[in-house]
Structure 1
Amino acid sequence: MGEATMMGWILAQQTPLGSSSAVESQTAGTIPELVIISIVLLLIATLVALVTQRLRIPYVTGLVLAGLPITDVLSRRVGLDPSLVLNLFLPILIFEASINTDISRLRSTFKPIALLAAPGSIFSTAIIAVLVKFGLGIDWIPAALIGIILANTDTVSMIAVFKEIRVPSRLSTIVEGETLFNDAAALVTFNLILVIYATGSLTFAQGVKELLVVALGGAVVGAILGYLSLPIFVRLNDPLSSLLLTVALALGTFQIGQFLGVSGAVAVVIAGLIFGNLGLPGSSSASDRITLLSFWEYAGFTVNTFIFLLIGIEINPLTLWRILPAILFVIVAYQLGRILSVYLLLNGLRWFDRPIPLRWQHVLFLGNIKGSLSMALALSIPLSLPGRENIIALVFGAVLFSLVGQGLTLPWLVKRLKISRVSDVMEQAGKLQIQLIAAKAAQDELDSLLKSGVLPKAVYEELWASYQVRVAQSERILRDFYNQYRANQLKSDRSGLDAIRRRLFLAEKGAVSDALRKRIVPEDLVQPYIKDLDEKLLKLEDD
């Protein structure tokens, strides 16, 4: 989705201005070239997929490496346009990530995510900016822009690794959540620095006010549009029409946010979370939900494929070689910023939340991979800014190192750390849980078909009974596992049951807090109960 539009727009930029007939003729002449380029890039991406699967390396890293040799061939006709990345590709990627994010999982890991995405990002940005300012001798505005760009993380490679190597769900949620909110935070602060550059000055109070207005305004816009989409979605019985609604919601929310002067990225995050957690579960048809999620998975995969391939095409290795010492200094700066923000901040997390294991922190540090947003932000720096070309070259060099160096070593590190150790008992219990969940979902779908009149009752009873056999068998074996756990108290097998307990405790906490907000129960009785729940949550094993 979007690749033909992207390259068509880029090719159109090179059409010389003139009469309308000349423009039409030139545009018509570029269509065959556009088709050929699209086919070439698709074939390259397919070949990269085959090679990376065989070599067991991240797909996006392979795309970047594949793009480097063809720089001289296609660089004048195809490039990474920042406007298209920010207005089309970024909303698609953010929306795809947010509709697949469970709010209950975010809530259980909110504190580490908030630490990394807010103060962690600011802390890392400040460290990078100071080092670049005094190490390379550039002005504060360019140094601050480099800091913001390189403090941003792109975890496409990390998520790809997590799909192949099992990691605890809490770690995966922290990674996804940090990226989700980090992208929005990077865009907000980047635009704030550009405002300072344009106006010449901005007081601290004005800066804080600007940040709050842009961020909170984006959240309000996203919440309004997200909730407005829910009744429309419920009334749409056609999955294809529902797809159109979600595309309009993702792209429209971003544009409306930008038009109103608030953060479009924040708006898309909130709208996606609302739609994914309130809209999709309310769909009466499981097949419609699968169609929607499959479409957005394909859209995200396609966008990432073309972005990372074009990153490789955009980078000129010879240019980077000429400024290699400066690039190495910038790499050290952003790695140091990440080290301090991860290890220092997360070390203090133990005072008010479950501590993050040191092995997880190693993954969060090495997973500090740069990607498409960093490239797009660098290219969107105003032409009038002195040293713009140097900033772009430094960022491109850091991105290349990040995608290749860290991207190739991350799978090795995750395996080496042995983060997730699952016993044979819990492995079998997990398979039974999958079987139980699937059978229950099938029974719910049968109930829906019976109520709608699609299924005769005799057929319904026969199919429902066949699924009930699977449900009963799974429940019986899982009960035996639970009894075995209670008898032996195997510490290594706690995480599966503790994950369930965590959800139950969080549900209790949410219900009691909601009752307190409605003044149903007195606060002096609620606070000790919530404190007891928090202590129980802290004692649970990481999932």
Structure 2
Amino acid sequence: MDVPELVPILIILLLIATSVALVSRKLGIPYVTGLVLAGLPINELLSRRVGLDPYLVLNLFLPILIFEAGINTDVSRLRSTFKPIALLAGPGAVASSAIIAVLLNFGLRLDWISASLLGVILANTDTVSMIAVFKDIPVPARLSTIVEGETLFNDAAALVLFNLILKVYSTGSLTFVEGIQELLFVALGGSLVGLVLGYLSIPVFARLNDPFSSLLLTVAVALGTSQVGQFLGVSGPVAVVVAGLIFGNLGLSQTDSAGDRLSLLSFWEYASFGVNTFIFLLIGIEINPVTLGKILPAVLLAFLAYQVGRIFTVYPLLAGVRWIDRAIPWRWQHLLFIGNIKGSLSMALALSLPTNLPGRENLIALVYGCVLVSLVGQGLSLPWLVKRLKLAKFSETRQQIEELQAQLMTGKAAQDELDSLLRAGVLPKAVYEEMRASYQVRVAGAEKALREIYNRRPDTLDATKGDRSLLDAIRRHLLLAEKGALNQASRKQILSGEVVRSRLQNIDEQLLKLEDD
């Protein structure tokens, strides 16, 4: 499409997205669901067809979304919930794909290659809708981390499996051993590329004093890591995930300016929001209601198949977590099941199916239908379900504590920024002392109030599970810091392995006893 034709279409899409945002908020429906519904009638109004370009999604949109998720993910929290995340995004994704493939093979009489490809596509989850609901309805932090972590690694796992099946289709055969070797090469190779490029970007970022140059560097890292991974024949998404985690947890701390960090994170938040807006609006444009009506029975069967696949992976896997980690409550498992919503990656993978694959157009239409049913059916019911499950236990005491914590953290952050401005010569000493003193009053007041709350009798403070979990969150943070110090001492051979293992086992036992936050 030429630029003169593209500009007015972009303006129309932006105006539609703005209108959808206003209407969705007023009606209380998820924004992405509103975008898809709004996109359905648009194609009839446009003179030229617009829609999802799989190359654009996989090489531009997806790296942006994954990198944004990576830099905003706290590795310490990810590490504390890594076992359930690894189960869902690893064995869970494979098992769910296999179950869906078997059901589609028998139910729709698809050949095994087509059924396997659809199994991978429909096993992939998109948590944009869930995260949007979490912003309005507070849920336990561990649950939110599991949801975000699963989608972060699930996208990478889906692409690895998808490409592996395509290799079987193109070569005609692939032994089990060759498949495992290919899987390990692609996944571990992608991790290595992400590690190298992520670490190489940190010293460059530390030397950049210009926030705009820093933004350009992060964009180059996100898109460049994906391209380098693909060029080397390894997983680009895995590389971007690792690079984002490294940069977000190690690179951002290299700048002393809170304003620069805020600008960078805000840029990526806006980029992610914009990409999601266009993706879900274009999903609606791609779906042809007439074609959907003709294949509706097949769509409903596929919808049922991936729900069955999700049931037989979420509940059995998470039921076994209690033997290796803190147990996952049933209500959380219900949410992880019903939140199995399809989205942009499923659409992009469907469009990436080989042109010589038999019945390709029907398979694409089937995926489109599943995405629409998922976004409308599950997306609209998700806010109601979260409230119904009563996941948010937000007592008055906890709210008071968090407000004081916010006051304390903002005061401390402002003081740190003042110290930075004084060292840089921006502020004269007299102005610095006056402004710092005003913040110190706020900090001291918050510290005094928090001390009084924490010094109450245990039966008063621990009146609700929510209050206990708040203290347990602090204890968990301290225990994770202890684990980090022990691991570092072991790597530097300061402490013997036997002593470290004993202490780590003791810390792990304490972590298992803590309430979920």
Superposition TM-score, scaled by structure 2 size: 0.98
Structure 2: how far apart are the matches of 1:234 and 1:246?
Answer: 12
1:260 matched residue in structure 2: 232
Query: Is 1:490 aligned to 2:463, yes or no?
Result: yes
1:292 and 2:292 matched = no
Deviations 1:456-480 (A, max 9, x none): 1111111111111111110111011
Match of 1:510 in 2: 484
Q: Which residue of 2 aligns with 1:45?
A: 17
Q: Which residue of 1 aligns with 2:385?
A: 413
Partner of 2:473: 499
Q: Which residue, out of 488, 509, 513, partners 1:535?
A: 509
Deviation at 1:32, TM superposition (A): 2.8
Deviations 1:118-164, CA, capped at 9 Å, x for gaps: 00101100100000011111111000000000000010000000001
Aligned counterpart, 1:183: 155
Kept in 2, the 8 Å contact 1:75–1:313? The answer is: no
Aligned to 1:301: 273
Letter aligned with residue 45 of structure 1: A
* Higher alpha-carbon deviation: 468-477 or 483-492: 483-492
Q: List runs of 5+ in structure 2 lacking aligned partners.
A: none
| Ranges of 4+ aligned residues in structure 1 off by more than 4 Å | none
User: CA separation of 1:382/1:485 partners in 2, compared to 1, >3 Å: closer, same or farther?
Assistant: farther
Give a deviation string over 1:150-193, Cα, whole Å, max 9, x none: 00001000000000100011000000000000000100110010
Give a deviation string over 1:343-385, Cα, whole Å, max 9, x none. Answer: 1100010011001111111110111010000000000001001
CA distance in 2, matches of 1:385, 1:39: 36
Structure-2 change in CA distance of 1:200 and 1:76 (3 Å): farther
Counting aligned pairs with the same residue, the percent is 72
Extract unaligned runs of 5+ from structure 1.
1-10, 12-29
Deviations 1:263-291 (A, max 9, x none): 01011111111111111122111111111
Please give the secondary structure, in 1, of the residue aligned with 2:495.
coil
Native 8 Å contact 2:43 2:50 kept in 1 = no
1:386-405 matches, within 5 Å, as 386-405=358-377
Does the 8 A contact of 2:69 with 2:152 survive in 1? yes
Are the counterparts in 1 of residues 189 and 234 from structure 2 also a CA contact under 8 Å? yes
Q: CA deviation at 1:74?
A: 3.3
Deviation (angstroms), 1:516: 2.3
Equivalent-residue separation in structure 1 for 2:237 and 2:249 (angstroms): 18
Q: Distance in 2 between matches of 1:146 and 1:73?
A: 31
Match of 1:362 in 2: 334
Aligned twin of 1:18: none
1:454/1:121 CA distance change after superposition, 3 Å: same
Amino acid at match of 1:539: K
2:375 paired with 1:375: no
CA distance, structure 1, for counterparts of residue 487 and residue 12 of structure 2? 56
Tell me the equivalent position of 1:521: 495
Post-superposition Cα deviations, 1:449-498, rounded to whole Å, max 9, x if no partner, equal: 11111111111111111111111110111011101153534342111111
Equivalenced residue count is 515
Alignment partners' CA distance in 2, 1:76 and 1:455: 57
Counterpart CA distance in 1 for 2:330 and 2:43 is: 41
Matched, 1:89 2:69: no
Q: Which of 182, 188, 194 is the aligned partner of 1:216?
A: 188
The match for 1:117 is 89
How far apart, in 2, do the equivalents of 1:453 and 1:115 lie? Answer: 52
1:45-444 equivalence runs, <5 A = 45-74=17-46, 76-444=48-416
Query: Could you tell me how far apart the structure 2 residues matched to 1:365 and 1:71 are?
Result: 33
TM-fit CA distance, 1:533 = 1.0
1:103 partner amino acid = V
* Partner in structure 1 of residue 419 of structure 2: 447
- How far did 1:73 drift? 2.9
**CA–CA distance in structure 2, aligned partners of residues 408 and 499 of structure 1:** 32
| Cα distance in 2 between the residues matched to 1:278 and 1:523 | 26
Matching residue's letter, 1:490: A
Mapped to 2, the partners of 1:390 and 1:525 lie a distance apart of 61
Instruction: State the secondary structure of the residue aligned to 2:455.
Output: helix
- CA RMSD of superposed structures (Å): 1.1
Q: Distance in 1 between matches of 2:136 and 2:464?
A: 25
* 8 Å contact kept, 1:75–1:314: no
In the superposition, relative to structure 1, how do residues 212 and 75 fare at CA in structure 2: closer, same or farther (>3 Å)? farther
**Aligned-pair CA distance for 1:526:** 2.5
Counterpart secondary structure, 1:484: coil
Over residues 6-62 of structure 1, what are the superposed CA-to-partner deviations in whole Å (9 max), with x where a residue is unaligned? Answer: xxxxx1xxxxxxxxxxxxxxxxxx433211111111110010000001001100000
Q: Output the TM-score relative to the length of structure 1.
A: 0.93
Give the CA deviation at 1:76: 4.5
Q: Deviations over 1:294-320 (max 9, x none)?
A: 111111111110110000000001101
Asked if structure 2 preserves the Cα contact closer than 8 Å seen for 1:359 and 1:417, the reply is yes
